């Protein structure tokens, strides 16, 4: 939390939100995809009961936003079988499965993703092979993006991590200079990966989603709202 700002939890019935008091002129209420997390940014000096009353007046809107997120489509679990649909960088591919002794591997050929595994390889093992391949692609794609935004934002990412996430596309630990990215991003268009990297790195400058944060995105990624909306309308996982 930046100097001159405070943060506290607020509970209204079964809803929990974070109240952030900082140097802003207007109140800003947000329901964040994909998990429906709620933040209420208000000017310094705003009393908790006043902020709470404002949130109560917006309960119907909050619940509608959360319902829309909850109803967001999720793809069924993949079995990694012949002719099954998979996505890579936003493009649809059909899977071809080949059985052979030797080290498992994954290749891309035109409209196919070719998965080569040993005979009788389990679904769990096939999933593990695919996940390792996805991470290898991200390990190639992410560093240039981090380097680009480091130069533009004048910040430094100390470490980045790739992992499966059920409710977020990414996260940031500003104190340590760490960012985490969802490995599912390998299935989305590269523009969306670029947006998520910028989004998380912008939190190194502003931990909230308030005016300063949005100004950073507006200045360097003007189409961020459209990309965010499209990203969160896509299936989070397979």
CA separation for the pair 208, 202 (Å, rounded):
10
pLDDT value of residue 204: 96
**Are residues 126 and 32 located together in one domain of the fold?**
no
64, part of any domain: yes
Number of domains in the chain: 2
* pLDDT at 190 > cutoff 70: yes
pLDDT value of residue 1: 47
* CATH code of the domain covering residue 227: 3.30.2010.10
86, part of any domain: no
Encoded tokens for 23? 């140097």
Last residue of a domain, one of 55, 70, 85: 70
Residue pair 150/123 in contact by the 8 Å Cβ criterion: no
* pLDDT at 237 > cutoff 60: no
Residue pair 186/230 in contact by the 8 Å Cβ criterion: no
Q: Is the dihedral of CA 186, 227, 63, 212 positive or negative?
A: positive
* pLDDT at 208 > cutoff 90: no
Q: What is the extent of the structural domain holding 10?
A: 6-70
CA separation for the pair 200, 193 (Å, rounded):
11
Dihedral through CA 213, CA 137, CA 99, CA 126, nearest 10? -30
102, part of any domain: no
> pTM for this structure?
0.70
Mean pLDDT of 37-61: 90
Show the beta-strand stretches assigned E in the chain: 6-12, 15-22, 28-32, 37-43, 85-88, 91-99, 105-109, 112-117, 159-163, 170-173, 178-182
94, part of any domain: no
141, part of any domain: yes
Beta carbons within 10 angstroms of residue 115's beta carbon: 24
Q: Which of 108, 126, 128, 130 is nearest to 117 (CA)?
A: 126
**Are residues 148 and 215 located together in one domain of the fold?**
yes
The percent of residues in the chain predicted with pLDDT above 90, rounded, is: 60
**Are residues 127 and 207 located together in one domain of the fold?**
yes
**Are residues 223 and 134 located together in one domain of the fold?**
yes
Helix (H) or strand (E) holding 128: helix 123-153
């Amino acid at each position: 939390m930046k100097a001159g700002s405070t943060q506290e939890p607020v509970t209204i019935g079964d809803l929990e939100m974070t109240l952030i008091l900082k140097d802003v002129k207007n109140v800003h209420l947000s329901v964040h995809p994909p998990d429906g997390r709620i933040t209420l940014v208000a000017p310094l000096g705003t009393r908790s009961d006043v902020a709470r009353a404002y949130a109560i007046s917006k309960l119907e809107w909050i619940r509608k936003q959360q319902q829309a997120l909850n109803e967001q489509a999720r793809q069924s679990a993949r079995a990694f079988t012949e002719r099954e649909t998979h996505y890579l960088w936003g493009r649809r591919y059909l899977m071809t499965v080949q059985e052979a002794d030797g080290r498992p591997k994954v290749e891309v050929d035109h409209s196919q993703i070719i998965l080569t595994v040993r005979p009788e390889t389990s679904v769990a093992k096939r999933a593990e092979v695919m996940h390792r391949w996805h991470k290898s692609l991200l390990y190639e794609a992410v560093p240039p993006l981090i380097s680009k935004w480091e130069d533009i934002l004048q910040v430094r990412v100390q470490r980045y991590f790739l992992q499966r996430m059920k409710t977020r596309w990414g996260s940031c630990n500003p104190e340590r200079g760490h960012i985490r990215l969802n490995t599912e991003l390998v299935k989305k268009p590269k523009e969306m990966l670029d947006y998520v990297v910028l989004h998380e790195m912008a939190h190194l400058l502003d931990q909230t989603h308030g005016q300063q944060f949005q100004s950073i995105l507006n200045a360097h990624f003007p189409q961020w709202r459209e990309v965010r909306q499209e990203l969160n309308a896509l299936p989070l996982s397979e």
